[in-house]
Structure 1
Amino acid sequence: MISHLDRRNNRSLDSLNFFLADVRDGLGPYLAIYLLAVHHWDPASIGVVMTLAGIAALVTQTPAGALVDSSRAKRALVIIAALLVTVSCLLLPFISSFSLVALTQALSAAAASIFAPAISAITLGITGPRAFTRRTGRNETFNHAGNACAALLAGLFAYLFGPVAVFYLMAVMALASVIAVLFVSAEAIDHDVARGLQPGDQSHQPSGFKVLLSNRPLLMFALCCALFHLANAAMLPLVSQKLAQANLHMATPLTSACIVAAQLVMVPMALLAGAKADVWGRKPLLLAGFLILPLRGLLYTFSDDPYWLVAVQLLDGVGAGLFGALFPVMVKDLTLGSGHFNVSLGALTTAFGLGAALSNGLAGFVVEAAGYSAAFLTLAAIAGAAFLLLLIGVPETLQRTEQFESAAVMGQT
């Protein structure tokens, strides 16, 4: 029977994932629109600022995971990071110099690196390994619902009050996440389990890279993730550019429509992954998510019609929804018993972040040389390679959780 404390923790995690959804992903295209429309920055300067923010996120992901592994104040880490993001958002309307804007965005990106490993650690520390899959699916469900809601509000507020309204929206959501995490019971978090250890096992100390270099399935999965995001990250920006070419005035609303549509599809996909990954296994669901990506890249080449492009973007909800829900589950499975769950999560996030960072540059060069269809086909080919590598090189990991749970039960008897 679910206790009052369990219900409170569940609702607090639901709220935390909902409000952090947009905060975790950063300002992204909204910042570019603001700098272009309000301060009349040139595209090169906008690109450099976003690149610097991306680099800050990349270099801090693995240290953030190590910090979460070693910390017994995981809620405080979320609160500090959320407050830093809030300050960065509230400062933006009052600054316009390149250096200050770059500094705020780099600081915000570095702070946001804490969120993914901290949420996964808090979740694992509360639920334990076996219940982690279903709870992670629920986390992702509320994350996607929060993203959809934030995108709708951002589009509405930007239309009514201008692009600057997005910054205040993100600041409010960051502050709401602080309130949500305060309602998570600190006593409910087992910090040994949150690192991937058995309860009370403190024989392992967090280590940055040893677990990665000695774990071949984890390395293969990292490569799959990097290729997936190398193929995926540039697709929506390319679609946005095509929409802008067709109708500049409607580009922002249609881009928001793409984001909202995909996020709404991600909600049932995350629920499906959470409910069935312990029954069907992780790999069939992951393969389905990876297979969608080359199909999507191919379909984008069929038509430039805005409604077709938005409709195809719905498939992003299938691929990203399954990947987002299963990514922390796979890392948990592959690192059980090591005490390195969160640093591994950070390192693999760095890997796919690097793929995402390179994606737009690669696509841009291909568009310049051969056009948009060639860029979509190139990304589709990379996605196909990621699918084949996952199929051949990464094992099913469900059995690892079952064996770990059995060993934990035997150790307690």
Structure 2
Amino acid sequence: MALRSLQALCLVNFFLADVRDGLGPFLGIFLTEHHWGADNIGWVMTAGGVAGLVATLPAGLLTDMTRYKRGILLAGSLVITLATLLLWYFPDAGIAVFSQVATGLAAACIPPVLTGITLGLTGHAGFARQMGRNEAFNHGGNMTAAVIAGLAVWYWGTGAVFILMTAMALFAALAVLAIRSADIDDNAARGLGKEDAAPEIPRLSLIVRQPALLILGVTLLLFHLSNAALLPMLSMRVAASHSSTLPAGVYAAATVVISQCVMIPVALFAASRANKQGYLLLITAALLILPVRAAVASAFSGSFSMIPVQIMDGVAAGLLGVAVPGYVVQILEGSGHINAGQGLIMLLQGGGAALSPALAGNIAAKYSFGIAFGVLGLIALSALFVWGAGNYCSGKKRLKPLS
């Protein structure tokens, strides 16, 4: 494997961290400052999520088929940046929906391509370790961007976040170009050996016949239906209450910094333990954390309650960021459909994440933020039940880790 390309891949993950999610939690803050209600903000976020669903599975299929993975990353970053800058200048309803739809479509292409490039550079043997590095750099990029964004918002207002994202996109593009195309083994990138013949078009029928993959997908749909709205709701509760000693934008940055700081060591830990404990145990541990996180968010409304909430978010996300792609690779190894399988999982995850803000936003607008957090906690428990019951009923024994 080429050291320079792997180093560049780490930098790509670092700089794309702030780009692929668009404004992230700052979207709610930005629109709240322009007098949007929680329910309308939730629907705009959902519009972007639904648009991403349209592109998610095709993005996985495309990653298995194409040799131009670097070009997809460059194009996706450009679209996200331009769409977000457009919202900065024109924060009305039509532009907001268009911006989030364009961002969702482009962002859906980035994760499967990054996974494919990683597999193409490392092969199966080095995949888990490199995914740990990828996630560590990704979380480090998010944390760095959040710190800079918090300071910039403090001095110049929420608009500074748009400038920061544009700068990160530029550096991400330079890092993508530093990855040598010749170092990427396109057969390995889709889970095949060098001499294996691959079908030009992956067959979805092969993927949907994998019960382990479907159990994982439904579980993660429920997980993200619960999880996706937690951080935006925390930030919006502070923005709506006007009782915090910190500006809402700085509060949002602090929530990101805390979780991302935790995710870095957790991702490296997950990568180091994946070959010994297996991916099933890591995923189960992450699922156990989310109901507790939602319960704390529901029970405590003070600004500092976000500290334990975001620490738990960092642990769960750090585990899943390494374990889920690794588990999919393990299930589909040798099929030539690994990135299509990743796309299916991302489709189901995205379905939950897309509905989550609208669900929580409408509950918060009609009842309260506390009740919204309580409902999200019940959904988190259902994810844990599906995971346990699904694996038990299928009679699935613990899979051997990748060798």
TM-score normalised by the chain length of structure 2? 0.91
Aligned partner of 1:254 in structure 2 is 251
| CA distance in structure 1 between the partners assigned to 2:205 and 2:162 by the alignment | 40
Letter in 2 for 1:267: I
2:296 to 285, 296, 299: 299
Structure 1 segment 321-360 matched on structure 2, within 5 A = 321-360=318-357
Structure 2 contact 14–138 (Cα < 8 Å) conserved: yes
Structure 1 contact 204–338 (Cα < 8 Å) conserved: no
Structure 2 contact 132–267 (Cα < 8 Å) conserved: yes
Aligned partner of 1:197 in structure 2 is 192
| CA distance in structure 2 between the partners assigned to 1:66 and 1:286 by the alignment | 25
Alpha-carbon offset, residue 182 of structure 1: 1.0
Structure 1 contact 144–263 (Cα < 8 Å) conserved: yes
| CA distance in structure 2 between the partners assigned to 1:7 and 1:177 by the alignment | 18
| CA distance in structure 2 between the partners assigned to 1:287 and 1:42 by the alignment | 36
If asked which structure has higher relative contact order (CA below 8 Å, sep 6+), I would say: 2
Q: Any unmatched runs of 5+ in structure 2?
A: none
Pair 131,260 (structure 1): closer, same or farther in 2 beyond 3 Å: same
Aligned partner of 1:385 in structure 2 is 382
- Number of residue pairs aligned between Structure 1 and Structure 2: 397
2:277 to 270, 276, 280: 280
| CA distance in structure 2 between the partners assigned to 1:358 and 1:94 by the alignment | 27
1:58 to 2:53 alignment: yes
1:27 to 2:23 alignment: yes
Pair 89,366 (structure 1): closer, same or farther in 2 beyond 3 Å: closer
1:143 to 2:138 alignment: yes
Pair 285,188 (structure 1): closer, same or farther in 2 beyond 3 Å: same
Letter in 1 for 2:7: R
| CA distance in structure 2 between the partners assigned to 1:40 and 1:300 by the alignment | 24
Pair 44,311 (structure 1): closer, same or farther in 2 beyond 3 Å: closer
| CA distance in structure 2 between the partners assigned to 1:373 and 1:105 by the alignment | 27
Pair 283,26 (structure 1): closer, same or farther in 2 beyond 3 Å: same
Letter in 1 for 2:229: A
Greater CA drift, 103-112 or 63-72: 103-112
1:235 to 2:239 alignment: no
Structure 2 contact 29–248 (Cα < 8 Å) conserved: no
Pair 382,76 (structure 1): closer, same or farther in 2 beyond 3 Å: same
TM-score normalised by the chain length of structure 1? 0.89
Aligned partner of 2:8 in structure 1 is 12
Letter in 1 for 2:258: A
The Cα offsets for residues 233-264 of structure 1, whole Å up to 9 and x where unpaired, read as 12223322433326255333222211110110
Greater CA drift, 265-274 or 6-15: 6-15
Letter in 1 for 2:218: L
Structure 1 contact 282–396 (Cα < 8 Å) conserved: no
Counterpart secondary structure, 1:197:
coil
Structure 2 contact 45–354 (Cα < 8 Å) conserved: no
Aligned Cα RMSD in Å? 2.2
Structure 1 contact 195–342 (Cα < 8 Å) conserved: yes
Structure 1 contact 334–397 (Cα < 8 Å) conserved: no
Alpha-carbon offset, residue 353 of structure 1: 1.1
Structure 1 contact 20–143 (Cα < 8 Å) conserved: yes
Pair 299,44 (structure 1): closer, same or farther in 2 beyond 3 Å: closer
Letter in 1 for 2:28: A
Letter in 1 for 2:192: L
Q: Any unmatched runs of 5+ in structure 1?
A: 403-413
| CA distance in structure 2 between the partners assigned to 1:290 and 1:7 by the alignment | 35
The Cα offsets for residues 303-332 of structure 1, whole Å up to 9 and x where unpaired, read as 323223323321111111101121111111
